[in-house]
Structure 1
Amino acid sequence: MAVWLQYSLVVVVVVVVVVVVVVVVVVVVVVVVVVVVVVVKVVVVVVVVVVVVVVVVVVVVAVVVEVGLVP
């Protein structure tokens, strides 16, 4: 009986450790995915803003040169 109890305790400990490791891995993966999604969103917003600013500057410069305000 004592040997069976020892083995069952070992099995319980192993199962608990495996469950904890799996939960930690899942949490880490979820956190990494969330961080990557947030970073990608921020990068996309920054790229869009930069493109819009560049287009506006190019259009303004083209209009100013076309109108002849710049010698």
Structure 2
Amino acid sequence: MDWDDAKEDGLNVADKHERNTNAFITYKWSPLKSVTLGAEYGRYEVKKVNGEEGDANRLMFAAQYNF
């Protein structure tokens, strides 16, 4: 996001997100005809207008049975 104009207008935008970044890796496989398994890793990063930065990681698993 580009908050420069709002900042020049005197608005408090210090806590606003200037940049959000995320990336995912997903792996799915089917060990049996009716079963699907999966895993996903997610990486998130944020940079605020005031220079603060944050990050997070997420790992998820899924199982599906078709009958």
Which TM-score band applies after superposition, normalised by the shorter structure? under 0.3
| More strand as a share of residues | 2
TM-score (norm 2): 0.20
**Which structure has more helix as a fraction of its residues?**
1
Provide TM-score, normalisation by structure 1: 0.19
Q: Which has the higher contact order (CA 8 A, sep 6+)?
A: 2
